[in-house]
Amino acid sequence: MKTIKFFHPEETFTYYIEKCFCKVVYSGKEHQLLIEIHSTDELDHVEADSLQNDFAQVILSVDDFPVPFSSPSELVGKSIEIPLCYVEQEDEDGDMEEVFYTNVSFMDEDFEADSNHLSFFKDASGNLCLKWKGEVQDFTEGSDDSIPFEVECAFLPVSFEV
């Protein structure tokens, strides 16, 4: 089973992935990467006194990150670096705005994820897979310290039943 792990100094938080998707979309003048990964809220594998019990579910996302690819299939064998979770860009009115690329969300509270390294590959079944390593703000204490994390997931084809 594919997982999300946070390497907190006191314990490793392990989450199991419920659903995930990866898209490359064209927006205006560039292609952008969109990824969303949702954990289950299942914590049966967690000790009763674990810090993880206070953070039952996590969502990781990459939004609007410019890429030189036009489809997810072009990501296979590629690595993408996203050093900072946001950049400041000038909008069409000449004002500066923050554009957030990466995000980690616990119970509707968002945290910055920096030093992101995304590696894409195919598994034995031919599915696009992702190994994502990065650092997130310490969500347990609310401090500016960083907690390393690692995600491994497979983007399975979506099937619709009629």
Whether residue 87 is contained in a domain is answered as yes
Whether residue 161 is contained in a domain is answered as no
Q: In whole angstroms, what is the distance from residue 84 CA to residue 142 CA? A: 18
Q: Among candidates 66, 67, 85, 79, which has minimal Cα distance to 135?
A: 85
Q: Among candidates 62, 55, 81, which has minimal Cα distance to 155?
A: 62
Tens digit of pLDDT at every position of the chain (162 positions): 599 999 999 999 999 999 999 999 998 889 999 999 999 887 778 777 777 777 889 999 999 999 999 999 999 999 999 999 999 988 888 899 999 999 999 988 999 999 999 999 999 999 999 999 999 999 988 788 999 999 999 998 766 566
Structural domain count of the chain: 1
Q: In whole angstroms, what is the distance from residue 146 CA to residue 48 CA? A: 25
Whether residue 162 is contained in a domain is answered as no
Question: Model pTM?
Answer: 0.90
Whether residue 106 is contained in a domain is answered as yes
pLDDT at 159: 62
Whether residue 160 is contained in a domain is answered as no
Whether residue 72 is contained in a domain is answered as yes
Whether residue 54 is contained in a domain is answered as yes
Whether residue 127 is contained in a domain is answered as yes
By residue range, what is the domain housing residue 87?
3-155
